[in-house]
Structure 1
């Protein structure tokens, strides 16, 4: 029997894989996350299925590629028929809930068509990505659209932060040099301290809510998705995190002049976005990134609190812990801001897993370099809890064999990520219709190949060019490799898990058994 009883699934928003001390950042302080890694394993080659919040998370939560679940961008509803982590966990008797962000958009039209009442238990689960909404808070609350029922705003008012939207006016705003309230939505205000005590920040609040819920659940098996809103913008942190780092702590941008002089057409269009223009300015970049780093250290401090609480509760010995992110952040690398494209800064994610089982002691404190994907988590959870594999539905692979030091046969040769930039200004700059804006990444140990609708592909030799500064998409010497990678992509597309209503073993049982079941056709 597995020792794992509970799952703590921690996700940060827009945290780069290389922005932790344990993954190589030279100036960031993350001692508690580092300690987590020392108790578990760092997966050094973990990739999200889409470098944007909504579709990445839908892959995390379904265990399926974007091509399969269809939620290709933020606020594209996840189809009502898709099974999610909550469905798989509840089958195993595990109470599964959310504290924080999902960026999930409910398929209300599908619910209405099937007569599912939004207020029913099934309706709530369908609208919340299969999670019990112990407390959902997606952040991103501009004044015009603030949720009047947002619990965090109620909490802030109880602490004395008055207003219609204290999330914005206090937690994500500061006081500028003129003594005026300055919104954290503007990058120029990133150096200011948020108008809130650090004990009342979003990160502190969500950590408190997680500890309260774990204590409330007691001995009930649980899967808790603690989904932090930070270090996603607004890039503004409470004291002392706001000035914990200086411009001198910011690492040099990974970008080359040739990239800027002769970019791929799609990359060029993304370079024209406002966030890319601003992050390409070195002075502005070094003004903002210290706040991003401060937000990460704030998260680290609360991870330390949470781990101490789990130890007090006796839960460290029976809880599988995952620490990850939905995608990265360019921060000016490759002359880009935000995410969405497929450079390592955007598509590679931190992945730390702590399995308390003794059979994982062999890899504890180590690093695993096998290609892993976000969709591997649900199969890992099911496996750790003693459930049966569902390869006809779940497209990922259990990571437990790797955690146990095994070398499983048939491990993947490449990772896949997808993009759909139909909603972005880049599409307008390129004069494309909304159905011609897809892109796919195939990433092997050595090569990264990116196939675009309407445009030439990109190719990077990660062995000779690990910083992805030389695009071989037009190199005649690499034409054969591009052709092979395109065929790999086509083969992958043909083998998505679309037959999800019947398991493979049922098909095996029924193959060539028509006559035994009394069905005669073609018999003389």
Structure 2
């Protein structure tokens, strides 16, 4: 029997696949990830299943779909109150538990503080876990909140008291950071050391390294963006130390604001690339690269007004938000670059990881996905007909040729939401009324219209019939799928 191989998953948050050179971006600098891609299998059609952050980790760690979401709230004390944003349940079997029970040393290194909110249980099955704290509004720094004028970080029109509150907490956590203390730097340095320490034991290991970068806040105090991307995006803003964070008034976001924060986001992607390169170089220098399967991916992307809005939103289940970069370095492929165009769902990660270790049959719960490595081996049976994708009260069905987006909540759901999440209830009621093209059923030909700009719903009856049938298999009660 072959010796089990080590496995490392390098996960990022809010990284758009199309913002990497290996996925075709013409000028964003990602040399380390691009070099890794040259030695890896590149999957060109991998997509999220349930969004956003915590929902995707639940899918990855259990191999179970969360759709359709129950219309209820997370347990008391867990924020934010989004559908599906919940802890691992007692009955869930995490893949880390299966690795742990079958001779693997398991490690988790994250700067995503949502992992370690009380009762989230996302560290279950890991022998060792570390939180590199301080991102977002993690209550990390102690002492009174500093009296900082946050108006210097955002346009006056977008500034709000809620933005000020969140940004002050973030500044407390990060004001004294040097570059090597930034989140992805600490996470990947710790991951490298963990891999070296685990290898010394002689046992195979499974490490999940998870950074929140390049998730918001998009921090313009850092220097990566200024020389590289300021002119590329023709940034005109006069804000000296721009920071975009939740709580800002998105309705007041102008094209000038969008271009500024898009440039900063690109700088954060380049910074992320530097520290991914650090980790990969350490694995090379220690001889671990050649006998370790390394997977690089992300949970979702974001929007920069490609479809009229800034940031990700439930109704924007377009490629910019849903496509995942997925690169796999597998020793059996001898550093060859292979591109795979078949559909991959986030549901497919768990069975693939367990198969890589040869322990899938020992997993004590059903898995709903497929082994995506079968696509790389040319197995036509591994081709999916469609991908399902859900985010709060919207759903999407994607094939290799089309993408359909639609509201999935019912009128009864809206009544329930009115009691627990009144703002979302208003969105659902608006979506159900239609035929507003921004919230009704939308259909795109993704071959002729890769940017998904032209809604062709109502013009392709056979395609619509097929995609609605796929949709009803996931959301049987979605009113927009019944005709």
User: What is the alpha-carbon distance in structure 1 between the residues aligned to residue 87 and residue 369 of structure 2?
Assistant: 22
Partner of 1:56: 56
Mapping for residues 214-293 of structure 1, pairs under 5 Å: 214-217=195-198, 218=200, 219-236=202-219, 239-250=222-233, 276-279=250-253, 281-293=254-266
Partner of 1:459: 443
- 102 and 140 in structure 1: CA distance in 2 versus 1, 3 angstrom threshold: closer
Q: C-alpha distance in 2, partners of 1:344/1:300?
A: 21
Query: Per-residue deviation at 1:25?
Result: 1.2
Q: Could you list the per-position Cα deviations for residues 165-202 of structure 1 after superposition, in whole angstroms to 9, with x for gaps in the alignment?
A: 99x999xx99979xxxx989669x99xx9653212211
Equivalent positions of 1:352-363 (< 5 A) are: 352-357=327-332, 360-361=333-334
Aligned to 1:78: 88
In the aligned structure 2, how far is the partner of 1:332 from the partner of 1:165?
37
- What is aligned with 1:45? 45
Give TM-score, length-normalised by structure 1: 0.69
Residues 396-445 of structure 1: CA deviation (Å, up to 9, x unaligned): 111222233x233252111111121xxxxxxxxxxxxxxxxx32211001
Distance of 1:242 and 1:74 partners within structure 2: 34
1:443 aligned onto 2:398: yes
Alignment gaps of 5+ in structure 1: 109-123, 148-152, 154-162, 253-272, 421-437, 495-524
Instruction: Name the residue aligned to 1:502.
Output: none
Q: Report the counterpart of residue 464 of structure 2 in structure 1.
A: 482
1:187-206 correspondence to structure 2 within 5 Å: 196-206=177-187
Deviation, 1:337, is 2.1
CA 1:289–1:303 in 2, change beyond 3 Å: closer, same or farther? same
Give per-residue Cα distances to partners, 1:184-231, cap 9 Å, x unaligned.
9669x99xx965321221121112211221222123321111111110
* Aligned: 1:146 with 2:134: no
Is the CA contact 1:244–1:290 (under 8 Å) kept in the aligned structure 2?
no
> Separation in 1 of the partners of 2:468 and 2:133?
37
Where does residue 479 of structure 2 map in the other structure? none
Aligned to 2:280: 307
CA contact (8 A) 2:44 2:325 kept: yes
Distance 1:62 1:17, change over 3 A: same
Q: Quick check: 1:329–1:346 contact (8 Å CA) kept in 2?
A: yes
Residue in 2 that maps onto 1:16:
16
2:114 matched to which residue of 1? 103
**Structure 1 residues 136 and 85, CA, compared in 2 at 3 Å: closer, same or farther?**
farther
Indicate yes or no: 2:392 matched with 1:393.
Answer: no
Cα distance, 1:169–1:378 mapped onto 2, change above 3 Å: farther
| Counterpart pick for 1:470 among 451, 454, 465 | 454
2:123 maps to what in 1?
A: 128
- The alpha-carbon distance between structure 1 residues 245 and 74, as it changes in their structure 2 partners (threshold 3 A), is farther
For 2:278, what is the secondary structure of its paired residue?
Answer: helix
Instruction: Provide Cα deviations, 1:112-157, integer angstroms capped at 9, x if missing partner.
Output: xxxxxxxxxxxx9x46244345212475443xx604xxxxx6xxxx
Unmatched tracts of structure 2, length 5 or more:
75-81, 155-162, 236-246, 411-431, 433-439, 477-483
- Structure 1 or 2, whichever has the larger Rg, is 1
Deviations 1:299-353 (A, max 9, x none): 1111111111112221112111111111001122211122233011011111111
**1:18–1:25 CA contact under 8 A, matched in 2:** yes
Q: Would the alpha carbon gap of residues 285 and 184 (structure 1) be closer, same or farther in structure 2, given more than 3 Å must change?
A: farther
Q: Is the contact between residue 104 and residue 129 of structure 1 (CA under 8 Å) also seen in structure 2? A: no
CA–CA separation in structure 2 for the residues paired with 1:27 and 1:347: 22
Q: Name 2:415's counterpart in structure 1.
A: none
Q: Are residues 165 and 194 of structure 1, via their aligned partners in 2, closer, same or farther at CA, if it must alter by over 3 Å?
A: same
Partner residue, 1:517: none
> Which residue among 87, 90, 100 is the counterpart of 2:100?
90
Distance 1:398 1:186, change over 3 A: same
Aligned-residue CA RMSD (Å): 3.6
Match of residue 347, structure 1, among 315, 322, 344: 322
Q: Against the structure 1 CA distance between its residues 330 and 165, is the aligned structure 2 distance closer, same or farther, given a 3 Å change threshold? A: farther
